[in-house]
Each structure stands twice: as structure tokens, then as C-alpha cells.
Structure 1
Amino acid sequence: MQPKPHDAIAPISRRDLIAWTCVSIAYAVAFLQRVCPQTIVDDLARDFGVGADGLGIIASAYFIGYMLMQFPAGVLVDTYGVRRLVIWSLAASSSGTLLFAAAPNVPIAFLARLIIACGDALIFTALIKLVAQQFRERQFGIMLGLSQLSGYAGGVLAATPLALTVAWIGWRASFAGIGVFCFFNLVLAASILPVRVSTAKPPVLSAILFSALAELKSRESWGCLLTFSSHFVAVTTISGVWGVPLLTDAYGLERHNATTALVLFMVGCMVGSVVFGHFVDRIQSLARAHILMCLLRSGCLALLIPTIGTAIGLEAVFGAFVILGLVAGGMTPMILKAVRNIYSVARLGTGAAINTTSAGLLTASLQPVLGYALSASWSGMQRNGVPVYSAAGYNAVVLILAFVSLLGIAGVLLMRRRI
């Protein structure tokens, strides 16, 4: 799929629109896979007989796989194009999901989530590249916002709808259905996405490593990496792993009420991605906007600390989830706009891959640490055979995430000359 000149882009055809929709749906399912563990955390703990440390290991599998494939994904999409990456992504996602649904123990569940993540890691990069090729530069922000909207829709499905489905047919049957859906989307993608004719040689490891080292010589690249990582680590951890357990354990909410907070977060993300995606191409000082968003994100996380949250009331806690969602949704097109400015359209895949690889590595590394912090404060209390962790443990978890979030300001200062 060759990029079209930005000053002479023909109107998007119906086939192009279907292609974009197909990849966006794949990204929605990938987002669901990323944030679904907290919805089924009790089921996994009960079926596999593990506590927070074991659940942290299962959760880390996704981020490890995501990290391992992010940089290769960027190089591959720049070399082979969107179509091949989407097909590879959906093949891995469908097979991994079916394996996860049948997993008899933690090691197989870990392997299955690793396979899913390796596939999902490709789809986000492919979607960014598709948007950059098919739309004018001044449309880049809004189309990224709409693309991200599909991801957050997947996040909404991973909350209450998935919880109700799991309660109805069980988590194994639910994920078997997701795997079958991914397979049918694979068939659609293979038939609708155009074939790219390329004479480029397959990338080799030495070329990949050389490219990464060359890009990381500039302070702007390091600043972009730090800004993206701080955002991804903080938001993905609270929305995808420990957010619902935080509300059920530390705040005493029923699971359906806790997942409602996650739905509000995802709705905020959806609104934020479109609104800020519209304005990101019109903001004069992108650096100043980045700093403001970092402060808002960190402040919202601070309000979720149980000691603070119980003092200010549940209404404020739910409000913090909504605002955190708005900020999280708005930050994505802003960060990717910075990636485009620093790396250019031609190297956009590589630039996105460097940032998402680093973010995935840090997120994966942090999950067992957070799980250990919770386990260390466990008093032995259980609910339906599942450990219930203390407010003190969650105080430590959310405080760590708020500190990581603040590191994004340092990243903005490093790249401010290019954004």
C-alpha cells in the first residue's frame, strides 16, 4: 500500500473505508485483550489457584509479548506494508485466544497471553501507518482520534459487557468466541486490504539494532520515549490490571459497580480521543499542552489512592476515573503527533515501535512488583476463595503509578524543541 501525496489525496473510497474499519475492529479486540484481565481476575484466581503474585505473572505475559514485538512491528510495517502485518496479527490473536480459553494451568495461560500479545503488538503500528498514508497531515490528529476511539470501544466491551458474558457462559467460552471472531476478521482483512508490491529486502537483526541505536542518539527521541512510556505504564496498569480490584478491595464496591467505573473511564477515553484529536493539529504549543495533561493525569491518579479517595467520597473517585479517561484518550493523538514530528511519515513505524517497545517493557516489569506489594500487605482475608488486599497495599500501588506519570514532564522538556 503506497502512501498518497498529502497535497493530492483522492476522496476515500468505500473499499478504503472498509479497510480502515477492519483494522480498527482488530485494534478494538486487541484493546479488549489488553484490559480484560481485571474483569476475569477472580475467575483466573479460582481456576488456577493463584494469588496476586500469580495473576501479576499472567498479566505480565501480555506486556512482555507486546514489548518483544513492538520494534520488529515498526520495521516490518515500513518494509512489508499494512496488509501483511494485519494478517499476521489476527492469525496470532485468534490462535492465542483459543489456546487461552483452553489453558489448564498458569504456564499455558502465560504462553497463550504471550502469543496474543505478539499479534496485538502488530495491529496498532499497522493502524497508525494506514492513517498516515491515507489521510492529509492536517487530518492526522482527528483520524488518530477516531482510530483510538475503536480501541476504547474495545475497552468498554472488556468491562461490564464482558463481565456479564462471563457470568452467563463462563470465561473460557467467552474467550473461545473472541478467538473465532478474530479468525473471521482475518478472512475479511485478507480479502479487503490491498496487496503492496515491494522490492525491499527482509529486515535483519543487525539492521534493526542499528536503526534503533541511530534513532536514540537525539534527546528528542529519548524525550518522546519517556513521555509515551510514563503515559502507557500509568494508564494501562490502572485500567487494564488493578483498577477493578482496587475498587472492590479497597473501596468495598461490588464487581458490577467497579466495572461501571471502568466503563466511565473508557467513555472518557473515547470522548477525549476525538476532541483532543480534533484540536491537536491546531494547538500552537504542543509542549505546554503535554505538561498540562501530565499534571492532570497524575492528579487523577492521586485521587484514587484509597486513603485520599475514602476521604473525598466515591463520587469524586468516579469523577477522577472519568477525567483520567479524558486525559488518557487525549494524550494518545498528542503523543503520536510528536512521534510523527520527530520521525517523519517514512519512519513512523520505527518511531512508534521504539516508543511502544519501551512502554511495554516498563509495564511488564512493573506488574510483578505491584503484585508483590499487594501480597506483602495481605492479611489473609478472602472473598469467595479469592484474596482481598488491603488499602495500604493499594496506596503503594497507586502512588507508584502517580510518580511514574509525573516522569512524563521530563520527557516533554527533552523534546519541546521539535513539537
Structure 2
Amino acid sequence: MRRRVDRRQARRRPRHPPQRLPIGEPATMNLGLVRLVTLACTAYLLSQFYRSSVGVLAPDLMSRLSLTPEELGRLGGIFFLAFACAQLPLGVLLDRYGPRKTTSLVLVGAALGAFLFATFTEFSGLLAARALMGAGCSVGLMGSLVLFSRWVPSRRFGTMAGLVLGVGGFGGILATTPLAAASAWVGWQGVFIGMGAITLVVAMVYWLTVRDTPDGTPFQKTRIGGRDDNVLRGFLEILATRDLWFMLPISFVGYGGLLAILGLWGAPYLKDVQGLGDIDRGNVLLATAAAWNVGCILFGRADRLFDTRKWTAVGGCCGLALVIAVIALVPPVPLWLNLVLFGVLGLVGAFSVLLLAHYRALFPVRLVGRALTFTNFFNFGGVFVLQWTTGLVLSSRGGTASGAPPEAYTTAFLMIAVVLALATFAYLFARDYRPSAEIPG
């Protein structure tokens, strides 16, 4: 009789029960997690530096290489196009071989791209080097998030993602005033040679010290394409998720809207419209990047504080659209007001960390690598599209290698604000996944 009851209870169990990782000895777990977080932040710091580096160098690159705004838009955007295209194969590699091997080897590509960027002087060569950097940096955040999916419970995923985004985001700060100062000292070619060497060291340390899972937790060894886990079936399961399609538009333009300004057009705007010099422009962008770092940590905690991911993200995206519209319409203002406006831009632009936690809540751990990289394809594909299209808008409105008129920036920035508002409207139809409804841990 007892066996029959047990069998009936077994049949009632959910097919995919919530997954929790076993917790090892507290001291060992803490030390391992600290080491993991440190290297995850460092890998993401490098990615942030490379992706934002063209922004502060933009006026110098345009004048020295005689680049048009459209060409500069391509040079900035090609990083994100290559980054996006690498996401789908990257997800398969992360799920199959684990973050340690995948992250270490892919970072070597970023180092090679940095060395080549310092070597080439022709536009086509610089374009290819930026593309290689983009593909190499594609693993910086995704590898960390796949690690966290196996090291920490789902309800703490947003906090950990926010920590890596906030601390690793200092790479964006390095790509502002520090990059301008270093470029004036050793030249931008020397800077990229040095960063390439640092990237190689980080890749080696990552390979030697990172563990894919805590002690006693087996890594997923299912053969990709085998009977138990087919690549196509996994992607079809991801595509069949209803809420995914209401979230992809805000992923496509949310981070892209911020990066179009912080990573590319912020410095030219501050020169052409606000009349700021090199150091003042670098300081304004530094304030933006620093505010973004703080915002990542705050938004990472906000989902558990307010017990909602969706509505906190909605507020952040609405704030981003509003501040971009204000920047688009404001006349020349004092330096302190530029610092305030761009600081708010960075702070609210960090809302996208909540989208990562929202996506994580949609999928089981066996699909996390493919799901996060699939959505990140749209994330960084949107950066490429927005940087390129804003460059086209600036060129069509009178922009040249020497600069663009204020009305050109007004048109381009208002376009970004409008698409952000439309994406937010689509996101309203996605269901909220509250942290309190998940297994505590």
C-alpha cells in the first residue's frame, strides 16, 4: 500500500522542479564565490572598456582619420554587431563546455583584437579589429551569468548580476577621462597594446582558478545534440516562451539607447552643442559611467526590495527616455547641469540589469546559457542598429568629419527616446516574475 502511495506522489511531481544547488561548507563556498565574483567583474570590466573606448576617442579619430559620422557610427557599432553574432554559438559552448573553458579561450580573441586595433591605420583594418574585439568580449558578462546560475539561487541572481555590472562597469569609467589622459601620454595605440596584454593575463588566471560549479555540484555534461539535450529542441523551447517576445523589444533598445550616447555620440554632442573641451567632456562621460555603475547595484537590489522586476524596469526605461529627450532639446547649459543630466542618464540607464533577472526566471538552469545569450543577441544587436542609424541621421542632417549641427543631435536623440517609449509599451504585456515567489536561498 505504501509503495502505491509513493508511486502516485512521484507521478504528481512537476516535470521540471525548481532547481537548487547544494551548499558546501560556508568558508569554502564564500572563498570560492569571492574568487568567482572578482574574476567575473574583471572580465566584464575589460568588456566595458573595449566597448566604450571609441566614445572618448571619437573626436580625435574623426579628425585624424577623416571619418564621417556614418563611418564613426560603423566603427563604434561593428563591435556590437560582432558581439551579437557571437551570442548564439556562445550559448551552446557555455552549456556544453562550461564557463571556465569558454570564457578563457574567447577572451584571447579580445586581446588579439586590441593588438590589431593598435597596429592598423586604415579604416577597414580598424573595423576588422573592432569586430574581433566585440566577438572576444561577448563572453565577459554571459560567462559570469551562467556561472551564477549554478552557484547562487535564482532569487539572488539579480543581485549578483547587478554586482558584476556595477563593479565591472568601472571599465566604462576607465574609457572616459583615464583613457583620454593615457592616450595623451602614450597614444591610443599604446593604450590598446597594454589592455591586450592585461586581457591575456586575465584569460590565463580565469582558466587556472575558476570552477564551473561549487564542490559536489556536477556540471551539466549532457552532450549537445545528443538524445537528452538537442540544440534545436532547446532553442525551440526558448522561442515558445510567451513572455520572451514582449521583452525582446526593450532589450533591443534599452541598453542600445544608453550606449548610443555614452559609448559614441556623447563626446561629439558635448563638443558640438555644449562647447566643452576634452577634459570637461571626459569628466561628463566619467560621471555618466560612474552613475551607471551605482545604478546597476541599486537596480540589482531593487527587484527584491520592491518584489517586482517588471515595474521597476518600466520605471527605469521611462526615465531613460525622458532624460534623453531633455538632452535632445536643451540649449547650451553650464557644465554642472551637463553633469547632472548625464549622471541621471547613466543612473536610470542601468535598469537593464533587471531584464537579465527577468529572463533568468523564465528558463530552467539547463537552458540558461542559450537563453541568456539568445536574448543578449538582441541586446547588442540593438546597440549596433542604434549607433549606426543615429550616425546616418547625423550625416543626413549636415554632420561631417568636423562635427554636426545641434538640430542633427536633436533629431537623433529624439528618435532614441521614441523607440524606448514604444518598447516600454510592449513590455507592459509581459508577466511579472516576483522574487518572493521563488525558492528562498
- Residue 15 and residue 214 in structure 1: after superposition, are their counterparts in 2 closer, same or farther (change >3 A)? closer
**Aligned-pair CA distance for 1:408:** 3.0
- Residue in 2 aligned with 1:245? 268
Rounded to whole Å, the distance in 2 between the matches of 1:129 and 1:349 is 6
Q: Which has the larger radius of gyration?
A: 2
1:404 aligns with 2:419: yes
Rounded to whole Å, the distance in 2 between the matches of 1:192 and 1:312 is 50
**Aligned-pair CA distance for 1:15:** 4.2
* TM-score, structure 1 normalization: 0.90
Rounded to whole Å, the distance in 2 between the matches of 1:312 and 1:48 is 30
- Structure 1 residue corresponding to 2:407, chosen from 366, 381, 392: 392
**Aligned-pair CA distance for 1:49:** 2.7
**Aligned-pair CA distance for 1:55:** 1.1
- Residue in 2 aligned with 1:258? 281
- Residue in 1 aligned with 2:370? 350
SS at match of 1:415: coil
Rounded to whole Å, the distance in 2 between the matches of 1:199 and 1:216 is 23
- Residue in 1 aligned with 2:3? none
- Structure 2 residue corresponding to 1:319, chosen from 294, 318, 340: 340
- Residue in 2 aligned with 1:8? 23
- Residue 272 and residue 43 in structure 1: after superposition, are their counterparts in 2 closer, same or farther (change >3 A)? same
Amino-acid identity (%): 23
**Aligned-pair CA distance for 1:316:** 3.7
- Residue 333 and residue 388 in structure 1: after superposition, are their counterparts in 2 closer, same or farther (change >3 A)? closer
Rounded to whole Å, the distance in 2 between the matches of 1:315 and 1:332 is 27
Name the aligned partner's letter for residue 115 of structure 1. Answer: L
- Structure 2 residue corresponding to 1:229, chosen from 229, 238, 252: 252
* TM-score, structure 2 normalization: 0.86
- Residue in 1 aligned with 2:128? 111
| 2:224–2:231 Cα contact (<8 Å) kept | no
Rounded to whole Å, the distance in 2 between the matches of 1:79 and 1:202 is 6
Q: Comparing 180-189 with 158-167, which one deviates more in the overlay?
A: 180-189
| 1:23–1:123 Cα contact (<8 Å) kept | yes
SS at match of 1:374: helix
| 1:9–1:135 Cα contact (<8 Å) kept | no
| 1:73–1:353 Cα contact (<8 Å) kept | yes
- Residue in 1 aligned with 2:168? 151
Name the aligned partner's letter for residue 40 of structure 2. Answer: V
Q: Comparing 102-111 with 342-351, which one deviates more in the overlay?
A: 342-351
- Residue in 2 aligned with 1:367? 387
Rounded to whole Å, the distance in 2 between the matches of 1:24 and 1:216 is 30
- Residue in 2 aligned with 1:293? 316
Q: 1:146-180 CA deviation, whole Å, 9 max, x = no partner? A: 11113320000000000100011101011111001
- What runs of 5+ residues in structure 2 fail to find an aligned partner? 1-18, 214-218, 435-441
Name the aligned partner's letter for residue 385 of structure 2. Answer: S
**Aligned-pair CA distance for 1:50:** 1.8
SS at match of 1:347: helix
- What runs of 5+ residues in structure 1 fail to find an aligned partner? 381-385
**Aligned-pair CA distance for 1:44:** 2.1
SS at match of 1:252: coil
SS at match of 1:201: coil
- Structure 2 residue corresponding to 1:267, chosen from 251, 273, 290: 290
- Structure 1 residue corresponding to 2:156, chosen from 116, 130, 139: 139
- Residue 240 and residue 10 in structure 1: after superposition, are their counterparts in 2 closer, same or farther (change >3 A)? farther
- Residue in 1 aligned with 2:216? none
- Residue in 2 aligned with 1:126? 143
Rounded to whole Å, the distance in 2 between the matches of 1:310 and 1:369 is 23
- Residue in 1 aligned with 2:5? none
- Residue 167 and residue 152 in structure 1: after superposition, are their counterparts in 2 closer, same or farther (change >3 A)? same
1:30 aligns with 2:76: no
SS at match of 1:318: helix
1:219 aligns with 2:219: no
- Residue 37 and residue 379 in structure 1: after superposition, are their counterparts in 2 closer, same or farther (change >3 A)? closer
